[in-house]
Structure 1
């Protein structure tokens, strides 16, 4: 049984809506991930600079100071 023009048209519109939604969804998720990554990286840089400036002991690296401060030493 052949599909009528109306059914084919509705299917084409439906496919277009679904594809459009998927593109929007992908764009939003990708955008969020970029913002999240940038925020975490920015925070880590600030944290490292603070630890380096105020919490490291003589000759101690930032990583060593963080480990010491967490009590994992």
Structure 2
């Protein structure tokens, strides 16, 4: 009986840790994406080009150089 209570408690702790990690990961990735989009918009876009278009162009250029 005691063993099953420990297993249940460990599962709850593990679930809480994983959920917290996912929240932190999402926040960090979201913040990075905002910074990346701002940088691309300010410094790497060409006339009349959007951020996503600039990213695709840069990716194609990078692949062409490899």
Task: Note whether the superposition's TM-score is higher than 0.5.
Answer: yes
Gaps of 5+ in 1: 1-11
| Number of matched pairs | 61
Higher relative contact order (CA 8 A, sep 6+): 2
Could you list the structure 1 runs, at least 4 aligned residues long, displaced by more than 4 angstroms after superposition. none
TM-score by length of 1: 0.79
TM-score by length of 2: 0.86
Structure number with larger C-alpha Rg: 1
**Candidates 46, 49, 52, aligned match of 2:41:** 52
Q: CA RMSD in A?
A: 1.0
Gaps of 5+ in 2: 62-66
